[in-house]
Chain A
Amino acid sequence: MSFRDIGMKIQAAREEKGLSQEQLARLVGCSQSALSNYEKGKRRLYLSQLEKMAEVLDKPLEYFVDSLSSSHPPQPTSSDRDERFVKLVNLLGRLSDEEINEVMRYIEYLEWKRSGGS
């Protein structure tokens, strides 16, 4: 679950900072049991609360929510191919359904050509 992922990141950042649950809870103004539930993903965390934690734990907000990414992005290499792939996917997201169909037809044509056109 999404909130479990965020909770694990909170726990990791708290431990990295050398804080106990009780200490972090006091710093962000919640109870220790609430913090424990946040870390287990058993209680929903809202933006203002996570902003406070991010500040205390010296992490950008993105550090916690990046774990929500459902897909597996390509490994961050500097290869030109990966960069072009990312750009291509972003461009595809801006196309209409009909335009995407056209792109698919063109890809099918390229595959057909590669296979010798048979």
Chain B
Amino acid sequence: MDFSLTKKQQELIESVKSMAAQEITPFALQEEGIHREKMLISLARMNLLCPTVPKEFGGLGLDLFSTALVVEELAAVSPGLAAIVAATLHAAEPIILAGNEQQKKEFLPLLTGAQAGAAAFALTEPEGGSDLNIISTQAAADHNGYLLNGCKDYVINAGIARFITVVAATDMFKKKASLRIFLVPHHAAGVKIEEIYHTSGINLAPVGRIRFADVNIVGEHVIKSREAGSGYLLLTQTFDVGRALVSALAVGIARAALEEALNFAENRLQSGVPIKKHQAVSFALADMATRIEMARLMTWKACWLIDRGGDYSVASAMAKLASSTIAQEVTCLAADIMGARGYIKGTLIEQLVRDARVLSTIEGTNHIQRMVISSQL
């Protein structure tokens, strides 16, 4: 087994680091989305908004392992920006996995190149959350395709997405068995952004509620339109891939917290020596570094399995469960090391603690991850 990165992967990391240092880090603590446009342009210039898009559709054609490396680097400087990328990747995944040539040609280039924008994945609903058994968004077949009605909540990239990948039932009795995935252009008539929330963390990524009222969806915008029953399986696969990327995001957040705490501990003097020399602090730092390494290796394994087409469902759920927990622990430990300084609004650590909080919720809560894992034991 070889854990070393290829030369190409190392160069990729270096190029992301270099761009991030100049164009993202200086604005990363200014959370209110003021600099989002500039940062997205920086990412687009490097074609990093959706790096898994195949080259023939304008993307970099990266495998998931390399994409996870990019997500970790971005999360280490701006978790919100990494969340925008992760959500875009999630929205594109059903198209990459099962879209037809026409769908790929129409939608994937919107996420690539210098003019690239983000995309959104809409599943969660105000009433039933992400419980597919009680999904209420409905796509009723009509002569031209489908008529989409319903409401999706907590959609990452609401308001900035070029298109929305929407999960809806086509039969209100069959619900889960009738799920299909619809590609909805952001400007489609009947699509309304009802609210953008003030979230506690990942503030750069807009999170909102979207209403779909009699939105006409042509048959060409339905993934696997002729194969009834394909939606659920495609959805679970998309989530299994997405979890590995959220895991990478968690590693990036945890790493940033460790670097910040380490820097502080090397410079803050107590009893005449840097606090890093005190065992209580040095042991905490050692624990943080060890946990981050665990999280990273689990992330890498999940991505490696995905790229090989192996059985990755459990590995991906375990990676997400472990990494999100570790990111929350590590950011809190880092805040402890920094004392009162870690509690001041506008400091990196205070932001990272808030950013890490969302990780146990997105891409399936950690309870869901436990259900996925235990069902396959």
Contacts and interface: CB of A to CB of B under 8 A. Distances in A.
B270 to A, nearest CB: 51
A44 B138 contact: no
B240 A44 contact: yes
A37 B314 CA distance: 13
B141 to A, nearest CB: 10
Interface in B185-243: 213-214, 224, 227-230, 232-234, 236-237, 240
Contact of B97 (A34, A42, A47, A68): A47
Contacts, number: 94
Interface residues of A, number: 36
Nearest to A63: B229
A41 B97 CA distance: 22
A55 B47 CA distance: 38
A78 interface: no
B366 to A, nearest CB: 18
Nearest to A45: B233
Interface stretch (B9-17, B173-181, B260-268, B296-304): B173-181
B133 interface: yes
Interface string A56-77: 0000111011111111011000
Given A64-B229, A68-B232, A71-B173, A94 B140 contact: yes
A93 interface: yes
Interface in B320-377: 375-377
Contacts of B228: 60-62
Interface in A8-55: 34, 37, 41-48, 50-51
Contact of A69 (B97, B175, B224, B227): B175
A66 B229 contact: yes
A94 B214 contact: yes
A93 B139 CA distance: 9
B109 to A, nearest CB: 24
Given A64-B229, A70-B175, A90 B138 contact: yes
Interface string B82-113: 00000000000000011000000000000000
A68 B140 contact: no
Given A46-B236, A94-B147, A68 B172 contact: no
Given A44-B311, A61-B229, 11 more contacts: A37-B376, A42-B377, A62-B228, A62-B229, A68-B177, A69-B177, A70-B175, A74-B173, A93-B149, A94-B149, A96-B213
